[in-house]
Amino acid sequence: MASSKTILVCPLNWGIGHATRLVPVIQELLNRRQKVVIAADGRPLAFLVRQFPGSDFIRFPSHEPRYATANHQFLKLASQTPDFISSYHNDRKKTDSIVKTTQADAIISDNRFGAFSKEIPSVYITHQLHLVLPSGLGFLRPIADHMHHRIIKNYSECWIPDYDAADNLAGRLSSPLPKKGRFYYIGLLSRFENYGSGLHFHAEQGLLVLLSGPEPQRTILENIVLNQLRSSTQQATILRGLPEHTEIPELPSHIRMINHTDDTELAGLISGAKYIIARAGYSTIMDLISLGRTATLIPTPGQSEQEYLADRLHRKAVFQKVSQADFQLDKVLQYASTQPFSYPKQPSVLETHIHHWLKRI
């Protein structure tokens, strides 16, 4: 057992996925009796407080990007470049302050660019070593990759939640590795890694809709699905992905809506659903694969990474892809009833990797 150290964990506040995929990392650290301090904001903070109520938390304010209501996300985000630069420098100062206050021995940052220290080992987690840009802007990809790799160089090492294999999950997003730097594939990260073998698929719970991602697109999809469900008799459960909310709108009796739930209930919902609709976020995909379930993926409009992942997995017949604009509930359910699940899951290497990392720091 490695000696107890204080590990500062910082997820990016761009949707909840950066927090959910840190659950097995945090849990493994706690299993090894390390002290974990979680510095987060917004929905990631609300989620992790529920997940690890006995841990230490620090509110780490961050810039929340403004997203477009249409397909112009890249341009919308590009217009906020001055805000992102300012946020990066603010994160650098705040990280140094938190490290000093907590006497942290190491940092694990999930895609939070400025959450590193030159004084202690710092880990950067990302599955996007190579960025996907919107159609027509592919010529900018080498520049975007170069800028991202410059950020990664600020960290002692980079952990990639994917398999080191030709047929990996994220495709060209996570491979090949850059020529310089310490990069490690750590396998898929899912909070349900240890649930799959104990759950049984009954296909009795009807439709499950897993909402996630940034606003306003999360709410736009919720409204699209609700409008079509209201004129249907399909039994459905909608998980809104809003751990900070308590109110639920009034709905017909065949529609159940949940703001947030614990992992055990969620694993049961996913395992028991006859049909699943979800965003094409990487963390959501890893969770579904961990539980051996397929789904209809609806990429967030304008998010090139999600569009790439959904296209890739649709071509491999692992998931179905439907655009938000073309979503029709009856067609989705008809297709989903004939869609088998097939994905070659590999053993987790996270436990071994963290064991060796704790010895290195």
Count of residues making up the chain: 361
Count CB neighbours of 318 within 10 A: 21
- Of residues 82 and 165, more confidently modeled: 165
Determine the distance from the C-alpha atom of residue 165 to the mean position of all C-alpha atoms in its chain, rounded to a whole number.
21
Instruction: Provide the CATH topology of domain 6-188+347-360.
Output: Rossmann fold (3.40.50)
Q: How far apart are CA 175 and CA 164, in angstroms?
A: 8
Contact 358, 32 (CB under 8 A): yes
Question: What's the confidence (pLDDT) of residue 141?
Answer: 78
**Per-residue pLDDT reduced to its tens digit, 71-85:** 665 566 566 566 667
In sequence order, what DSSP letters do the residues of 263-316 get, joined into one string?
A: HHHHHHHHHH-SEEEEE--HHHHHHHHHTT---EEEPPTT-HHHHHHHHHHHHT
Question: What's the confidence (pLDDT) of residue 202?
Answer: 47
Q: How far apart are CA 228 and CA 298, in angstroms?
A: 15
Average pLDDT estimate for 6-16:
93
Amino acid at 109: S
Question: What's the confidence (pLDDT) of residue 311?
Answer: 97
Determine the distance from the C-alpha atom of residue 24 to the mean position of all C-alpha atoms in its chain, rounded to a whole number.
12
Question: What's the confidence (pLDDT) of residue 344?
Answer: 79
Question: What's the confidence (pLDDT) of residue 213?
Answer: 84
**Per-residue pLDDT reduced to its tens digit, 101-143:** 999 999 999 999 999 999 999 999 999 999 887 766 666 778 8
Give yes or no on whether 6-188+347-360 and 196-336 have one common fold.
Answer: yes
Question: What's the confidence (pLDDT) of residue 143?
Answer: 87
Task: Convert 88-147 into a string of H (helix), E (strand) and C (coil).
Answer: HHHHHHHHHHHHHHHCCCEEEEECCCCCCCCCCCEEEECCCCCCCCCCCCHHHHHHHHHH
Q: How far apart are CA 353 and CA 182, in angstroms?
A: 13
Confidence of residue 201 (pLDDT cuts 50, 70, 90): very low
Q: How far apart are CA 148 and CA 142, in angstroms?
A: 10
Contact 226, 207 (CB under 8 A): no
Average pLDDT estimate for 283-304:
93
Question: What's the confidence (pLDDT) of residue 64?
Answer: 67
Average pLDDT estimate for 217-227:
95
User: Over 60: is that where the pLDDT of 203 sits?
Assistant: no
In the CATH hierarchy, which top-level class contains the domain 196-336? alpha beta
Least confident of 49-58, 138-147, 164-173, 198-207: 198-207
Q: How far apart are CA 112 and CA 99, in angstroms?
A: 15
Domain-wise residue ranges, the chain: 6-188+347-360, 196-336
The set of residues, in sequence order, having a beta carbon less than 8 Å from that of 110 and lying 6+ positions away, is: 9, 10, 11, 12, 18, 19, 21, 22, 125, 126
- Of residues 79 and 335, more confidently modeled: 335
Q: Give the distance between the most distant pair of CA atoms in the chain.
A: 59
**Per-residue pLDDT reduced to its tens digit, 191-200:** 998 775 455 4
The set of residues, in sequence order, having a beta carbon less than 8 Å from that of 98 and lying 6+ positions away, is: 8, 37, 39, 58, 60, 104
Question: What's the confidence (pLDDT) of residue 86?
Answer: 78
Helix-strand-coil percent breakdown of the chain, rounded to 5? 40, 15, 45
Q: Is 128 exposed, middle or buried (0-12, 13-18, 19+ CB in 10 A)?
A: middle
